[in-house]
Chain A
Amino acid sequence: MVLAIVFTLIKILIIVVCVLTGVAYMTYAERKVIGHMQVRLGPVHTGPMGLLQPLADGLKLMSKEDMTPDMVDKPVFYVAPFLGMVPGIAAFAVIPFAPNIVVADINVGVLYVLALSSVGVYGIIMSGWASNSKYATLGSLRSSAQIISYETAMGLSILGPVLLAGSLNLKEITEAQRGLWFFIPQFVAFVIYSISAVAETNRAPFDLPEAETELVAGFHVEYSGMRFAMFFLGEYANMYVVSSMCAILFLGGYTGPLLPPLVWFLIKMLAFMFFFLWLRATLPRLRFDQLMNLGWKVLIPIALANLLITSIVVYAIRN
């Protein structure tokens, strides 16, 4: 019993450390990839090829002054960054990286991840509210509106693979894709998922909550040092979560020939992460009404139609 708990704790520790390292190096990868896409170099001076840049950034953020403006709602202001970061990391508990590398193999994994990604909104709303600043409030309002509307499309698109697999357990969904990865029969859902995943994580071209040109930085305007870094970590951890979900639901998770399962999983996840960066280097930001129109008038109806057709087909085949 005790041994099992200790073993689980070690597993959690390893995964958290890996996620945080991954997050740190994602910032480096982002600067490098976008730099090269703009025919620049990206960071080069810190360490060989700038590889120590995340370390330098981390040190910088930690040594910065922890500012608390006078007029903020202090308890909420302090709690919000944690609420922004924790759900992103907690979601990794149910992700099966390989057949036996999963912290909690629960039977409602998909639901758990969706629920946690909704909790993440509270961090953003609370930070915007507590900051007592118009930019922060506008950013958080935009963000909550955006995340709530795109969560619907995302949930509906996830239902396609769930119907095909007949389970909410992420491992069983992965195993159901041994023969055929779900992004072929569920291509429409895959596209909808990709779009709403980008919107869900507030990334470009849907980065309205932190639109630099309009809102300075959005909901984290008033934060500095490590508190700001926590929002940053939360955003990147969320990117990892939606990428992992994409890999599991549509790209067959850890299944694949020759290479070990973990490597396959990482390849698929990082490919989707690259897609995030690629989009950011390519597309300009949408206007807010365009964003809402796309979510409510395009993605949700298509996702519903896809769900209807999938259900009919699955029903016909099962009977």
Chain B
Amino acid sequence: MKNVFETIFFTEILQGLGITLSHMFKKPVTYRYPFEATPIQDRFRGIQYIKTHADGRTKCVGCYLCQKVCPSECIHIETDCGPNGERLIRKYELDLSRCIYCGYCEEVCPVDAIHMGWEWNTVASDRSGYVINMKTLSMNYKDNLEGNWKNKHLKKKLVEGVQQ
């Protein structure tokens, strides 16, 4: 009997029409990407940054652990001996076009220097633009601290104090 009623008055079609009509007044989920940034999760792994001490010296001690652990071999480090027997970092290069953003370097770092950031816009016009050095990585740290992100959703994250 119920079935006959449903067939005659096509209640199920009306139900479907009701659903589409109610969806019409919902807020669209679209992000207009190039004009509007997309939100990023807290645990998102973006371009790396390397922390610095208060006087601007890098925290990195050149232990080669990140280079060793990196599965895509995108980190290249060269070190040298300083006048007082300390270790100097001659070269620290990270090839973003090889990096798979796995986050192993962050986990393995014994001095809490390298971290995965939230910035993800790596677009460059040629391949050499993808290789970033210690200077850029330290600048990335500064940008992360000060919130100089292209992605405005990240500004909110800074206010929330997710920074270590």
- Chain A residues engaging chain B, CB cutoff 8 angstroms: 33, 35-41, 44, 278-279, 281-283
Contacts and interface: CB of A to CB of B under 8 A. Distances in A.
A41 B20 CA distance: 15
Interface string B61-100: 0000000000000000000000000000000000000000
Given A36-B24, A37-B23, A44 B32 contact: yes
Contacts, number: 35
B28 A40 contact: yes
A37 B29 contact: no
B144 to A, nearest CB: 32
Contacts of B13: 282-283
B35 to A, nearest CB: 9
B39 interface: no
Contacts of A35: 28
Contact of A37 (B20, B27, B32): B20
Interface of B: 13, 16-17, 19-21, 23-30, 32
Nearest to A32: B24
Nearest to A35: B28
A232 B27 CA distance: 31
A44 B20 CA distance: 21
Contacts of B32: 41, 44
Contacts of A279: 17
Contacts of A33: 24
A275 to B, nearest CB: 9
A41 B28 CA distance: 6
Contacts of A38: 23
Contacts of A36: 23-25, 28
Contacts of A41: 28, 30, 32
A279 B14 CA distance: 10
A282 B24 contact: no
Contacts of A278: 17, 20-21
